[in-house]
Structure 1
Amino acid sequence: MTELASEPVPDREVSMTVNGRPCRVRCEDRHLLVEVLREQLRLKGTHAGCLNGDCGSCTVELDGQPVKSCLVLAAAADGAEIITLEGVAQRRELDPVQQAFWDNDGFQCGFCLPGQIFATRWLLARDAEPADAVIREALAGNICRCTGYQSIVESVRAAAAGLRGEASR
């Protein structure tokens, strides 16, 4: 029987801007972005849920688009601009979407919150007054085990109204 020589796993330096701050990390080619964000950068708002792209709890904004960070190799994010849930709030004030979720009980345990927040921000940047069916479709890639989704839809409606300068209905 031939024994395979074990060679050291090469690692690489990856540069990215996370929540407005330039940073460099060393990682193996196989490391996922969610792992680097949580373990090396200590950004625990990005949750590692299913690790196969189903639940949405690891969602971040990568170069302006929401992505599930469990499906992105960290090396592929070299040179990218990333916003995590911790980077959504500005000057220690909640973003209007975060505030709407807070005000309308759009979360309970908060595990699904990254996916819900980033999907809502993406939707409302493209549709200022989405119908409930459109809201539900936009949130479809996120699993919540606590709320039953109605309060999440109400939160999205309230965020949309707030961003339009109206009181929520």
Structure 2
Amino acid sequence: MDSEHQKPGPSTRGPELALAGFLMVLAGFVIVDSVRTGIGWGDDGPKSGYFPFRIGLLLLGASGWVFVTTLLKWRETHPLFAERSQLATVMAMLIPMVVYVGGIAFLGLYVSSLVLIGYFMRRYGRFGWPLTAAVSVGVPLVFFLVFERWFLVPLPKGPIERLLGF
């Protein structure tokens, strides 16, 4: 067995670099958009990009600091970020949630929620089919009644809802 499989998990340096890099890109978007909308002071007060620009600069500075210090300390021993079994547990939750969010665009919120709730109840809760079906259908139905009918707030619908006339 090679040494890669014997490691308990990744160190903190990879996640630190990835998150710092992501936040630097995000800060760049905030800064660029703030400049587009105006970062100065107008006759009636600060322009709409005034405060976001400064927040973007702070975010860029802080995440840049983390990125650079992590690179400078690359050869040092870093603590364990997470054990592989812990990462597997996170992925077991993360992947269905990402599929759920993507499914909302194609299936709508209600059908995607029905599938996600049913999946988690059966897979991890080990509930029987009758309870799983009741909760999986009931929760989106309550959301529909509360948001669409009571508050009159339309939520994303997919082809099945449109076919049923919702």
TM-score range, shorter chain: under 0.3
**TM superposition score normalised by structure 1:** 0.25
More strand as a share of residues:
1
Larger CA Rg, structure 1 vs 2: 2
More helix as a share of residues:
2
